[in-house]
Amino acid sequence: MNDCIVRATAAKGQIRAFAAYTKNIVETARNAHNTSPVITAALGRLLTAGAMMGVTLKGEDDLLTLKINGSGPAKGLIVTADAKANVKGYAMVPDVLLPPNAVGKLDVSGALGIGILSVIKDMGLKDPYVGQVELKTGEIAEDLTYYFATSEQVPSAVGLGVLMNKDNTVRQAGGFIIQLMPYAEDALIDALEARLSKMPSVTTLLDEGKTPEDLIGCLLGEWEPEITESVPARFVCNCDKKRVEKALIAVGKKELDAMIRDGEDIEVKCQFCGKAYSFSIPELKEIQKLCTPISEIKT
């Protein structure tokens, strides 16, 4: 099955929903960053959410960033997504190892700790939209549910899951977001809550061979869901040597001086995808000319 995001409406427009299959995206991220199982799960959940939230962007160049900064050993995660379900992301500390949590699952909450979830939507305006909430559980789905309720005032249910194989590769990954429109009836809200409380986990359903369309059916079957769109989703990084060069300029004159004095080519890896770019000493010298001279840096 190829990765994809499906959009749906149900209950005569009172519900909008998204469902995702993202196994290949999460496995690509795991492979690029060599993440430990708990970080694969954490990053995979955030990538899945990013892919679904990205498709709500209106403009082709609009960009969504989901950022978690936490007190736990993972320190943080960053994911960006566009309107075409192209996503990329990385963890600040990719190799965190933790024992399973009290219910025997990967301890994503323990890896992230206490912290902040930021949702940044860059829609080409002067200032991007920034919504921030404190992490409620650090399990990501609940944190996004809280974000939607408080920052966007949209009652939502979010499910995200990553299941690993014994060799720590990704076996299943996917998720859903269900949102209630402002005019949704109370009876519908109650019935939906009851339905969701009886649902098996996303990864259980995917492991039974269910597609994102099937997930929508399982979640919303009694409210006549209608699939309105299916978008292929991919892990894509748009890095190139020019972008990495900009990062090197930002490193500053002094650090570049040290690299040049070492006299050896350096290799710089893209944070998002791990692709390595090599810079020779003559190239580093050219880059150094573009740095702000130390005397001009205002403090």
Distance between CA 48 and CA 21 in Å, rounded? 8
Tell me the residue length of the chain.
Answer: 299
136/275 with CB nearer Zn ion: 275
* DSSP label at residue 223: G
Which distant-in-sequence residues (6+ apart) come within 8 Å of 171 by Cβ? Answer: 23, 163, 164, 165, 203, 207
Q: Residue 86 Cβ, how far from Zn ion at the closest point, in Å?
A: 12
Closer by beta carbon to Zn ion, 6 or else 237: 237
d(CA 227, CA 261): 60
Residue from 273, 284, 287, 291 in contact with Zn ion (CB under 5 A): 273
Alpha-carbon distance of 165 to 144, in angstroms, equals: 26
User: How far apart are alpha carbons 118 and 186 in whole angstroms?
Assistant: 30
Among 123, 218, 239, 249, binds Zn ion (CB under 5 A): 239
- Segment near Zn ion (CB under 5 A), from 30-38, 192-200, 266-274, 278-286? 266-274
Single residue of 41, 205, 237, 244 touching Zn ion by CB under 5 A: 237
On whether the CB atoms of residues 78 and 94 are closer than 8 A, the answer is no
Which of 18, 235, 272, 279: binder of Zn ion (CB under 5 A)? Answer: 272
Shorter beta-carbon distance to Zn ion: residue 184 or 251: 251
- Residues β-bridged to residue 77: 68, 91
Window contacting Zn ion (CB under 5 A); options: 41-49, 131-139, 158-166, 230-238: 230-238
Q: Which is nearer to Zn ion, 20 or 270 (CB)?
A: 270
Tell me the C-alpha distance between 250 and 255, whole Å.
Answer: 10
Residue at 204: amino acid letter? T
* Residue 16 or 33 having the CB closest to Zn ion: 33
CA-CA distances (angstroms) from residue 271 to 26, 91, 102, 238, 279?
16, 9, 33, 12, 16
| Residue 271 Cβ vs Zn ion, minimum distance, rounded to whole Å | 7
| Residue 270 touching Zn ion (CB under 5 A) | yes
Judged by beta carbon, residue 181 or residue 239, the one nearer Zn ion is: 239
Contact range with Zn ion by CB under 5 A, out of 7-15, 65-73, 184-192, 235-243 = 235-243
Residue closer to Zn ion by CB (options 116, 236) is 236
Given the rule CB under 5 A, which of 9-17, 213-221, 232-240, 291-299 is the region that contacts Zn ion?
232-240
> Tokens 């040049």 correspond to what residue?
260
Rounded to a whole number of angstroms, the minimum distance from the CB of residue 234 to Zn ion is 13
What is the distance of C-alpha 89 from the center of its chain? 6
Give the shortest CB-77-to-Zn ion separation in angstroms. 16
Nearer to Zn ion (CB atom), residue 253 or residue 275:
275
Beta bridge partner(s), residue 278: 267
**DSSP bridge partners of 10:** 15
Residues 40-99 that bind Zn ion (CB under 5 A): none
Which residues here bind Zn ion, judged by CB under 5 A? 237, 239, 270, 272-273, 275
